[in-house]
Amino acid sequence: MTATTSDIEKAAGVLRAGGLVAFPTETVYGLGANAENPAAVARVFQVKGRPSSHPLIVHIADPRRLGDWVEEVPATARLLAERFWPGPLTLVLRRGRRVSREATGGMETVAVRVPGHPVALALLSAFGGGVAAPSANRFGSVSPTTAGHVRAELGDAVDFVLDGGPCDVGVESTIVDLTGDAPEVLRPGGVTREDLEAALGRPLAVPATSRIRVPGQHPSHYAPRARVILVEPEKVVAEAELAQELGHRVGVFLPPAFAGAPVKAHAVVELPASTSAYARGLYGFLRELDQRGCDLIVASLPEERGLGLAIANRLRRAAGPRPSD
Ligand code: AMP
Ligand code: MG
């Protein structure tokens, strides 16, 4: 059910009153608060169970207002904003005074994005200010890509949930740090490295996905309840069947090359052939296998180009060591 104009006005009122609104973006659903209200931002961390030192992304409606939120807008930021906003790209810049320290986790930098979703843009325009938001899930778990996911996970802890249907991109935004000598990708996401490099006219550094570069990221981010193991694509079926025989309830991410193959496992997700469809479905597939009671998910990494880079990054993190390990 897509949000109506009156839902959007109501949600903007909730933000003005210091409340929390979950809202759709083209990447994933966000859990938003007025970026200038420290108490409201503090509640976002509390509801998510997220350490308060981990910064949020400030969402704004109008790229021309970027200067309100940062100390200065360098030429590279202007170029990338013009090319990719509204869209799944987050820029990290030196923070301006307007943004509350709570929203930046006490850092001297701020992450800003103009989301490419009509409901998000309508909310941001109606509200008028910046909305600080991380993904609308509990810390460390899988990001929500439908309003139903948000309600199931956060329930009454959120004051208002705007429904904009399923997210079109399905993985989080690409985060580019523009505070150093050269632009650096902190998190691969919805804007591909190839498109960024074409816009910048030069190659971009993308840190190894296992490196913990950004506060707020740790290896087991984006993890379902079931343990995830990554194997070579041609070993997915054999590994899954072996684990199932050993007594696990195995969920399988079946690569498109093996579509239709019989697999003796608890649950099988046949992966779509297109990476954009895979990205769109990724978090829903992980949630589905959790819901079906799997304790182990066997998957392989897609080719790491285009959106495949972001998918591989999330799968590696889902397979990473858990804090309780
Ligand atoms: P989430 O999408 O829920 O993980 O939340 C926002 C993401 O943006 C987190 O991964 C943060 O670490 C990242 N982020 C926000 N602000 C900054 C910043 N100033 N520098 C680097 N990363 C940031
Ligand atoms: Mg998140």
Question: How many Å from the N-terminal Cα to the C-terminal Cα in the chain?
Answer: 40
Indicate whether residue 110 lines ligand 1 (CB < 6 A): yes
Evaluated on CA atoms 302, 308, 312, 314, the torsion sign reads negative
Which domains are delineated in the chain?
5-200 (3.90.870.10), 227-318 (3.40.50.11030)
Taking only the tens place, the pLDDT of each residue in 126-166 is 999 999 999 999 998 999 999 999 999 999 999 999 999 99
- Spatial distance between the Cα atoms of 195 and 188, rounded to a whole number of angstroms: 12
Indicate whether residue 104 lines ligand 1 (CB < 6 A): yes
To the nearest whole number, what is the mean pLDDT of the chain? Answer: 94
- Spatial distance between the Cα atoms of 156 and 128, rounded to a whole number of angstroms: 25
Closest to 91 in 3D by CA, of 109, 104, 68: 109
Indicate whether residue 135 lines ligand 1 (CB < 6 A): yes
Evaluated on CA atoms 148, 150, 152, 156, the torsion sign reads negative
E strand segments, 203-243: 227-230
The answer to whether residue 176 scores a pLDDT higher than 90 is yes
Of 33-37, 57-61, 191-195, 205-209, least confident by mean pLDDT is 205-209
Q: Which two tokens stand for residue 143?
A: 């990001």
Distance in Å, CA 238 to ligand 1 centroid: 38
Average pLDDT over residues 300-318: 96
Average pLDDT over residues 196-206: 92
Average pLDDT over residues 80-96: 98
Q: List Cα–Cα distances, 40 to 90, 158, 159, 222, in angstroms.
A: 22, 12, 11, 24
Q: Which two tokens stand for residue 270?
A: 């046949």
The answer to whether residue 210 scores a pLDDT higher than 60 is no
Taking only the tens place, the pLDDT of each residue in 51-82 is 999 999 999 999 999 999 999 999 999 999 99
Indicate whether residue 87 lines ligand 1 (CB < 6 A): no
